[in-house]
Amino acid sequence: MSEEKKALNFIEHIIEEDLASGLSKDKLRFRFPPEPNGYLHIGHTKAIGISFGLGETYNAPVNLRFDDTNPAKEEQEYVDAIKKDIAWLGYQWANELYSSDYFQKLYDWAVQMIKDGKAYVDSQTSEEIAQQKGTPTQVGTNSPYRNRSVEENLDLFQRMKAGEFPAGTHILRAKIDMESPNMLMRDPMMYRIMHTEHHRTGTDWCIYPMYDWTHGESDYIEQVSHSLCSLEFKPHRELYNWFRDHVYDYAKEALPMPPKQREFARLNLSYTIMSKRKLLRLVEEGIVSGWNDPRMPTISGLRRRGYTPNSIRKFIDKVGVAKRENVIDVSLLEFCIREDLNKSANRVMAVLDPVKVVITNYPEDKEEWLEAENNQEDDSAGFRKVPFSREIYIEKEDFKEEAGAKFFRLQLGGEVRLKNAYIIKANSVVKGVNGEITEIHCTYDEDTSKKVKGTLHWVSIKHAITAEIREYDRLFMHESPDSDKDKDFMEYVNPKSLTLKTGYLEPSLADVEVGEQFQFQRLGYFNVDDDSTAEKLVFNKTVGLRDSWAKQKPKPQTNENQNKPKPNLQKRSAISVIQQLGKKYTNLAEEKQLKAKAEIEVLAKDVSYDELEPLFGTAVKKAGTRIATLIALKVMLKNGLERNDAINVFIEKAKEDKNDVLVAEASGI
């Protein structure tokens, strides 16, 4: 098998095998089939990325089909939002389709199934049907209406369609096997009566097809070659195939391609709710301001918070396509947006918790416009001018009257560099009646060549503009807020998920537009919120410069060797120690390299993939860190970690390196 084939995920392998078995490439067709009963969230981006990604890989059409079979919960608002989100992510669909387009065809096929003795009208109550279905360990029993004649079933079904009966009086069921070990095969419902207006078909119908009947047959009508869905639908595959095989007999000449259902692990994210029903509750109970609240995991919420399409697509690439369920740490998503904005966001200065600094030896009437680099990561970003004057703001936490040797910011008698400006020295403070420092009096030095350890951001007070700053924290305080069956997930809502502040910003931000993104130096990445106006600027904090939650996570439990002497390793996380060992690795003698390698192999057992994966992007010149990453990765793969595209790319890139040790480690995986 070629190196290229090794990098394929399991779905691509299935497609390649089908092509090798004779499926024509021009018959490949995929679809993304959302139900328009809510807004898309981060969990959907995996399904979107898989389906549209395959379309791009194989140059095959991808349909956007709305499975709109439940008019009681579906709205045009959701349709519009879904289309906007997918387009924003950068994907294009071949056709915009709706399951409601097929209501007549589905009805005609259902009539044919009644005629073939494969469907019947049941007139039991929902409670009776539920009881008669049995349990996973106890077989079901046949409905007393199961053996109605074809004529009676046709008559009742036609009258159901005509609106003669109230909701709940009759349903249409498939006649399969009430003793099947798969409860979904125990005469599943195909149609129910609903006197509810549909957002597209209006009052044309008062019976609506069930999802399992509609979904697969819509795939078949559209001649989808590979129907891809998440793992919770795996038990449905047997029913999917049963329905598909029956309608294939009715339409195989016009529709020769029977679709193939395959399942992948859904995206589960820590500290996040993925249920549309639960997200709707957050909206309805006013916990958030709406579906696009920046704390929501919806795509519209992430967009408003400042996430970029590229960061989300990169995140999906890193997560990969797997067959087993797992939970991805939300810090990986945050890492992706940091990495993206680091390259694209201009640096500016803002102070969010100000204390006044008076530079006593700077003339009162003087001001200067100093040159500041916009983004050192982008050579084309250029420079801007920032004003400097006698009175400036700095962050309160950047000053202490007395501080230890490890405090590299401003303290009495100490010096720091002001970003893009001068070096200042703190000489005295002014305090208010409650003892709080209200002013710091400093002197400045025009000799900026001096070496000082600290650099602070600042803004000139008389030039500063104000803005409302919305700082967001995780919406839930529990890593898995809906995992406790004995507690309502709402109990884990973080009461401090939103903090409002007044920020003082450099004047270059006076004319920003909604959606623009910036790095507030030393504070994080921020974007201009939808609520922002020329009269009142509003900024959202997208993400901090570092993972502030990493320190709050419990340390991994040590094993039975915890009492063995390793004093320098016990207070730090395993991944941190691996990084430290990697930094020194290439400078060590061979004997010490072997010792470091053994330590890394032990530490790797306490490292998660989400912790290791960000190291795949380590700079080429940092060969030692990449070697340490490969050593840990080899252990994790041996212990059951499933390979994905990100892993394969990292290994292949390492094999092409000039460092012999790095190449050897990569080749050994």
Same domain as 438, residue 393: yes
Phi-psi region of 286 (alpha: psi -120 to 50; beta: other; left: phi over 0): left
Q: Which of 211, 226, 253 is the last residue of a domain?
A: 211
Does residue 568 lie in a domain region? no
Does residue 137 lie in a domain region? yes
Q: How confident is the prediction for the chain on average, in pLDDT? A: 92
Task: Give catalytic residue positions.
Answer: 35, 266, 276
Contacts of 305 (CB under 8 A, 6+ apart): 294, 295, 472, 527, 540, 542
Residue 514 has a CB neighbour count (10 Å cut-off) of: 13
Span 227-251, average pLDDT: 96
Which alpha helices (DSSP H) does 285-419 contain, by range? 299-305, 309-319, 330-344
pLDDT (0 to 100) of residue 550? 56
Q: Is residue 603 predicted with pLDDT exceeding 80?
A: yes
pLDDT (0 to 100) of residue 567? 42
Structure tokens at 510: 């006076």
Closest CA to 535 of 502, 510, 500: 510
Same domain as 445, residue 352: yes
Residue 249 is classified by DSSP as: H
Does residue 76 lie in a domain region? no
Q: Is residue 170 predicted with pLDDT exceeding 60?
A: yes
Report DSSP letters for 621-640, one per residue: T-HHHHHHHHHHHHHHHHTT
pLDDT (0 to 100) of residue 552? 52
**Continuous segment of H or E residues that includes residue 502:** strand 498-505
Residue 545 has a CB neighbour count (10 Å cut-off) of: 15
CA 78 to chain centre: 19
Inter-CA distances, 8 with 23, 57, 76, 310, 652, Å = 18, 11, 38, 22, 14
Number of domains forming the structure of the chain = 4
- One-letter identity of residue 242: W
Closest CA to 574 of 599, 541, 547: 599
pLDDT (0 to 100) of residue 351? 98
Does residue 253 lie in a domain region? no
Q: Which of 193, 211, 229 is the last residue of a domain?
A: 211
Does residue 600 lie in a domain region? yes
The string of pLDDT tens digits covering residues 13-47 is 999 999 999 999 999 999 999 999 999 999 999 99
Structure tokens at 260: 């193939």
Does residue 320 lie in a domain region? yes
Same domain as 456, residue 361: yes
Q: Is residue 3 predicted with pLDDT exceeding 50?
A: no
Burial of 29 (0-12, 13-18, 19+ CB in 10 A): buried
Closest CA to 87 of 137, 40, 29: 40
* Cα first-last separation, the chain: 16
Same domain as 446, residue 351: yes
Half-sphere CA count of 33, side-chain side, radius 13 A: 23
The string of pLDDT tens digits covering residues 205-217 is 999 999 999 999 9
Same domain as 528, residue 581: no
The string of pLDDT tens digits covering residues 608-637 is 888 898 888 888 888 899 999 999 998 888
Does residue 503 lie in a domain region? yes
d(CA 467, CA 523): 15
Same domain as 453, residue 475: no
Contact criterion met (CB below 8 Å) for 427 and 360 = yes
pTM: 0.79
**Continuous segment of H or E residues that includes residue 245:** helix 237-251
Same domain as 511, residue 585: no
Closest CA to 274 of 39, 75, 550, 31: 39
Residues in the chain: 669
Q: Is residue 551 predicted with pLDDT exceeding 70?
A: no
Closest CA to 390 of 432, 434, 360, 415: 360
Higher pLDDT, 567 or 194: 194
Does residue 458 lie in a domain region? yes
Assign residue 287 the CATH number of its domain: 1.10.1160.10
| Residue range of the domain that includes 628 | 574-668
Structure confidence at residue 548 as a pLDDT band (50, 70, 90): low
Phi (first) and psi of residue 367, to 5 degrees? -145, 150
Pairing of strands 268-269, 327-328: parallel
Residue 420 has a CB neighbour count (10 Å cut-off) of: 22
